[in-house]
């Protein structure tokens, strides 16, 4: 495998030993041997068992580290289509554009837009004003799914730092706007107040819920996100305010100052709208009936242009197909890029994909999702049978020294989560610890500031390298990763 000239000589002398050749035919035989050796060399260089000079994983990493196409396409996407919120024409136009990219991509087949009915929430005009102890216009963003205020809503504020404190002060909450001044710790812990804040406030008679934005660094930027209601509990409007204002309210109430706010929200929920998941495949070779999924979600919130959350994840998935095909590194298994819709406020795309592809679950051997921003990648979060961890770590180690990627147990992602729960081993690319440490992802998460200028080309390239290297290796490995359980799907 490491000495191509010797392979030529071996073929030539081996063939010659079985026949008698003239001097003229010997020249022809040498040319035939050379052609055969080139074919064999290409074959072995597409496996993982070759020397470093022809290592396909390194070839993919090198190509990713020089890539500019994803970066340029992200700029065009954000500049041209703007926010891509579920239910909007902008999202569907962007999906059609992405579909056209797939059709232009040599080797990509089975391109399809698969229908998904998605929620259609409209923000409408909104505002927040402090009317006492002084007049001030305050930044805010209504939370996805919230009702409106039916005109201006003016009430005094009750500031709490936890659900426990709210329960202890329930008698004070009636008729007030509850403000959750809860500092960011981890995303899962802090986002509870965004998701459930309106329900808990309504239980004790509050008229609205305001949540401190989920970030530990703020430049007076509110962060939106999904919220929920509960049957039997009154519906009240819910919004996010800035870290700065929540902290200010906390200080003011500690001094005994009474705060009065006027909240105006014209939010409403319309009938479900038609959207689409977008898929395209690079067909495999000898194991083409087995599938490796790679993707992200293509929708964004209605603020910002969703460059880090999560246009980059989708365009890296498509580029993964391009890099393998353009380098002649066809995978043994079929690799399917999926642009999921409606992750942000419903995850309907993930549910629809599982439903529409249930017959393929047992043949889907792996899934990878990128949806934690585009900062410097440091590993993968694995969801599945822990017995697969050593194998995945060994594959991740093949990216050294260009990358240093660690595999650990955890959730793989919202969009491939249903697949993982059905038994498919899956990983999510780790670009952020989800406690906000070390990156700026949560500085712009779900804000108007999630725009193209936040993307660092070198980090994007390394993220692409981490995605394509893992996908390629699993698509070509002998055997498959162990699963938690088998499904009934055929």
Helical packing angle, 89-104 and 312-326, nearest 10°: 10
269 and 228 Cβ atoms separated by less than 8 Å: no
The C-alpha atoms of residue 103 and residue 447 are separated, in whole angstroms, by: 32
Phi-psi region of 243 (alpha: psi -120 to 50; beta: other; left: phi over 0): alpha
Q: How far is CA 416 from CA 353, 366, 402, 422, in A?
A: 9, 10, 27, 10
Question: Is 92 a known active-site residue?
Answer: no
| Residue that the structure tokens 């919120």 belong to | 85
Neighbouring C-beta atoms of residue 443, cutoff 10 Å: 20
The residue among 83, 124, 371, 343 whose CA lies nearest residue 239 is: 124
Beta carbons of 314 and 321 less than 8 angstroms apart: no
Neighbours of 307 (CB within 10 A): 24
> What is the rounded CA–CA span in Å between residue 305 and residue 308?
9
Note whether 241 and 128 are within 8 A (CB). yes
* DSSP 8-class letter at 358: G
b/e string for 322-359 if b means 16 or more Cβ within 10 A? bbbbebebbbbbbbbbbbbbbbbbbbbbbbbbbeebee
Count CB-CB contacts under 10 A for residue 159. 24
29: enclosing H helix or E strand? helix 23-45
Q: Which of 343, 344, 360, 369 is flagged as catalytic?
A: 343
Q: Which residues are catalytic?
A: 343
């Amino acid at each position: 495998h490491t000495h191509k000239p010797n392979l030529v000589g071996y073929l030539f002398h081996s063939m010659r030993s079985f026949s008698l050749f003239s001097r003229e035919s010997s020249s022809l035989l040498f040319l035939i041997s050379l052609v055969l050796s080139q074919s064999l060399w290409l074959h072995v260089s597409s496996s993982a068992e070759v020397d470093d000079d022809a290592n396909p994983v390194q070839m993919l990493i090198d190509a990713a580290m020089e890539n500019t196409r994803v970066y340029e396409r992200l700029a065009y996407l954000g500049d041209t289509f703007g926010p891509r919120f579920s239910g909007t024409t902008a999202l569907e136009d962007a999906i059609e554009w992405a579909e056209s990219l797939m059709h232009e991509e040599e080797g990509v087949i089975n391109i399809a837009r698969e229908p998904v009915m998605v929620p259609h929430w409209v923000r409408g005009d909104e505002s927040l004003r402090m009317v006492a102890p002084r007049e001030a216009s305050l930044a805010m963003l209504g939370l996805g799914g919230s009702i409106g205020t039916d005109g201006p809503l003016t009430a005094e504020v009750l500031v709490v730092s936890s659900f426990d404190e709210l329960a202890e002060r329930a008698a004070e909450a009636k008729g007030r706007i509850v403000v959750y001044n809860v500092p960011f710790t981890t995303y899962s812990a802090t986002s509870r107040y965004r998701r459930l804040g309106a329900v808990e406030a309504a239980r004790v008679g509050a008229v609205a819920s305001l949540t401190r934005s989920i970030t530990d660094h703020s430049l007076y930027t509110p962060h939106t996100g999904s919220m929920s209601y509960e049957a039997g509990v009154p519906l009240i409007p819910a919004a996010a305010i800035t870290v700065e204002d929540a902290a200010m309210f906390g200080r003011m109430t500690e001094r005994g100052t009474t705060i009065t706010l006027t909240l105006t929200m014209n939010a409403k929920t319309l009938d479900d709208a038609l959207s689409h998941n977008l898929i395209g495949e690079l067909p495999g070779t000898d194991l083409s009936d087995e599938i490796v999924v790679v993707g992200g979600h293509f929708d964004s919130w209605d603020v910002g242009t969703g460059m880090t959350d999560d246009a980059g994840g989708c365009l890296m998935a498509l580029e993964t197909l391009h890099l393998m095909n353009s380098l002649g590194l066809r995978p043994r298994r079929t690799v399917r890029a999926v642009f999921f819709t409606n992750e942000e406020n419903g995850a309907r795309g993930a549910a629809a994909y599982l439903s529409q592809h249930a017959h393929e679950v047992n043949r889907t051997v792996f899934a990878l999702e990128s949806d934690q921003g585009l900062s410097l990648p440091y590993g993968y979060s694995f969801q599945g049978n822990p017995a697969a961890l050593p194998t995945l770590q060994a594959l991740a180690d093949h990216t050294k020294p260009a990358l240093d990627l660690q595999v650990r147990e955890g959730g793989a992602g919202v969009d491939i989560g249903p697949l993982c729960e059905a038994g498919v081993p899956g990983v999510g690319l780790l670009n952020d610890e989800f406690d906000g440490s070390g990156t700026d992802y949560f500085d712009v998460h779900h804000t108007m500031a999630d725009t193209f200028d936040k993307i660092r080309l070198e980090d994007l390239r390394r993220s692409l390298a981490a995605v394509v290297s893992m996908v390629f290796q699993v698509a070509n490995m002998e055997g498959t990763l162990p699963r938690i359980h088998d499904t009934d799907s055929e």
